Amino acid sequence: MTSAPELVTAALGGSVRAVARLISRVESGGRSAREVSTALAGRPREAAVWGLTGPPGVGKSTITAALIGQLRRSGRTVAVLAIDPSSPFSGGALLGDRVRMTEHVTDPGVFIRSMSSRGHLGGLSSATPGAVDLLSALGFDVVLVETVGVGQNEVDVLRLADTVVVVVAPGAGDGIQAAKAGILEIADLLVVNKGDREGAAATVRELKSMIALGRARTARRGDWRIPVLTTTATADIGIPELLVQIRAHSTFSAETGLRERRRSDRAAVAIETVVLDHVHRLLAGPNGRAELENGAARMAEQGDDAHSGAAVLWAWIAGQPFV
């Protein structure tokens, strides 16, 4: 089997297949993921990480494809992680967002990968932090994370991205639903896509009113003012303006220290994910299942409480080697 350092060397030399194999090892977790992380130690991570999120069907993938085109015309390399809902039986991705980005798949400056969320709450795959770190370490200029459209559970993207773009569509009450779900609170930019449809202008007004109401309660001098943009991504309308605003937010973040805070958050998420993966793997193994079943039996038959059982289980976990 090809070693992780060999795959990293091949990926840095432009091998798309090597990048894909490295991400597969990150997704598999455990020792394989750790070998990849070790092989990347010391490499700079300078990628801009952008998150696109919003309700299903608003055109996030179409916007992603349009952004790729704009970025490639300016010579920047782009990696896309499209987080798909997954089958509860197979764990496989169902949507296959790459189908919508076929015009870019032969471009050596673009890497696109669908990742299954595997039931993980927060709209992201549990392997996403490691994959973002990998792609940044491999030197991509922009890493674009498109999250599964599950509403209120998408707030995890805020801890992963330098800039968060929330996309809605006119009509169907998307703006109101987004506000109720709380995803407006994570937005650095708001985009009303499908701007050629009836109701687009009304949705823009609705969102601007919500933002103004929120600022009246919480705004402080020097805060970022969230822009509301209109796009028709299928015709590339509004995409250049969206890029201008993303770059404006990047400048604001660099000048105010927000970028460093978010990158620190991203590092914390990556570490937290590895720890949780380790715990889940232990509990999924035969010894872990036996320890859990013993604790459950004591609780059911002898009246032990859940916290006491958890303390015993945690003591067992703490005694296991970290791999």
In a domain, 267, yes or no: no
Q: Indicate whether 169 and 69 sit together in one domain.
A: yes
Q: Indicate whether 204 and 154 sit together in one domain.
A: yes
pLDDT of residue 154: 58
In a domain, 263, yes or no: no
Q: Indicate whether 181 and 194 sit together in one domain.
A: yes
d(CA 143, CA 216): 34
d(CA 51, CA 146): 6
Number of compact structural domains in the chain: 3
Q: Indicate whether 72 and 159 sit together in one domain.
A: yes
pLDDT of residue 78: 97
pTM score: 0.86
Closest CA to 199 of 169, 164, 157, 239: 169
Spatial CB neighbours of 145, under 8 Å, sequence gap ≥ 6 = 49, 50, 51, 52, 80, 81, 83, 124, 128, 132, 157, 160, 161
Q: Is 112 helix (H, G, I), strand (E, B) or coil?
A: strand
pLDDT of residue 255: 95
Q: Indicate whether 243 and 292 sit together in one domain.
A: no
In a domain, 266, yes or no: no
In a domain, 262, yes or no: no
Domain of residue 277: give its range: 272-318
Per-position pLDDT tens, the chain of length 323: 699 999 999 999 999 999 999 999 998 888 899 999 999 999 999 999 999 988 888 889 899 999 999 999 999 999 999 886 653 333 444 444 445 567 787 888 999 998 876 544 444 567 888 999 999 999 999 999 988 655 444 567 777 899 999 998 887 565 566 555 566 678 899 999 999 999 899 989 888 888 887 665 666 777 899 999 999 999 999 999 999 999 999 999 999 999 999 999 888 888 888 888 889 889 999 999 999 999 999 888 888 889 999 999 999 999 999 87
pLDDT of residue 222: 76
What DSSP line would sit under 34-73, residue for residue?
HHHHHHTTT-----EEEEEE-STTS-HHHHHHHHHHHHHH
pLDDT of residue 182: 62
